[in-house]
Amino acid sequence: MNKESLTPFVATHPGEMIKDELKERKMTQKQLAEQTGIKASVLSETINGKRSVSLNVAVALEKALGIPADVWMNMQTQYDLDMANIATRGNESEKVEVIIPVKDRNLLKEIARKFGWACML
């Protein structure tokens, strides 16, 4: 398997899991913020994928939710890797070699120039 085949189409931010945990536990963001000591604005930005899960947040989530801090950190690292791989997925240009037999080399040069082709004459 190559790296591209292991890269998801859309990366999932760890905030999605926090959101799911809150829903399952019938808990509000405000309650989690109070329990963890994480500022409500920081928690909101993390849940909405606008902020990374820091080590401090991961440790606080571990204490409040019982999910180990390394799980949160691994999810954040995987998210960052997936985002980087997704960003580079479309930037790789493909090179195709085409051999065109022509009698008029000047015409071929003009066509190559017009379309931005690289020509080896």
Q: Write down the pLDDT at residue 110.
A: 77
Structural domain spans, the chain: 3-89
Tell me the two tokens of residue 85.
Answer: 């791989």
> Hey, how many other C-beta atoms are within 10 angstroms of the C-beta on 46?
24
State the chain's mean pLDDT as an integer.
Answer: 86
What mean pLDDT do residues 8-32 have?
A: 95
Contact 53, 72 (CB under 8 A): yes
The answer on pLDDT for 103 being more than 60 is yes
User: Would you give the DSSP letter of residue 90?
Assistant: T
Q: Write down the pLDDT at residue 107.
A: 77
* Separation of alpha carbons 58 and 42, rounded Å: 12
Between 63 and 113, the more confident residue is 63
Which CATH code of 3.40.50.970, 1.10.260.40, 3.30.470.10, 3.30.70.100 fits the domain covering 3-89?
Answer: 1.10.260.40
Per residue in 64-95, pLDDT (tens digit) is 999 999 999 999 999 999 999 888 876 655 56
